[in-house]
Structure 1
Amino acid sequence: MCVCINCFYLTFCSRYYLFEKIGLEANTAKYPFFYPFLVNVVFHIKMKNQSISSITLEWDIIECLSFVDKPGLWHSISKN
């Protein structure tokens, strides 16, 4: 699970913006001008069938030294 969902910098983090773009998701990071320090990333390979065309990647930031906790941030953003 991505640690970004409760990070103060979520809406302007360049790394989170990039991962949203890779994942073809709606851009939560509207103004990506913040560059986080020492980000640890993992990705999961998912395959629905036994077909190469069904492979998808999910990117998660599991550790970030720039993380500043802001509990409930993701919930307040997702309502808008």
Structure 2
Amino acid sequence: MCICVNCRHVNNCITYQLIRKQHNDRYNSHLYKNSFVPNKTLININIIYINQSIYYDWDLIECLSFIETPGQWILHQ
């Protein structure tokens, strides 16, 4: 599970924007004026085979800039 959804920086983090893009989510493709660049992130990519199709699941599993704020992603949707 991606830890981004409970991080204070989720709404302006460029790493989270990348993960959303890889998940084909709707997102703003422009960079925010105050884009946040996190320190030392670790992204886990799971490769899933279903019915001869390949899917990728991207999850941020470690980030030194992580500041826990549960539900932060809901506030600015």
Residue correspondence of structure 1 range 45-60 to structure 2 within 5 A: 45-49=47-51, 51=52, 54-60=53-59
Cα distance, 1:4 vs. partner? 0.4
Write the distance in 1 (CA, Å) between the matches of 2:71 and 2:10: 12
What RMSD in Å do the two structures reach over aligned CA positions? Answer: 2.2
Gaps of 5+ in 2: none
Gaps of 5+ in 1: none
TM norm structure 1: 0.80
Tell me the number of residue pairs that the alignment of Structure 1 and Structure 2 aligns: 75
Give the structure with the higher percent helix: 1
Structure 1: which 4+ aligned runs deviate by more than 6 Å? none
Give SS of 1:35's match. coil
Name the structure, 1 or 2, with higher relative contact order (CA <8 Å, separation 6+): 2
Write the distance in 1 (CA, Å) between the matches of 2:64 and 2:21: 22
Partner of 1:36: 38
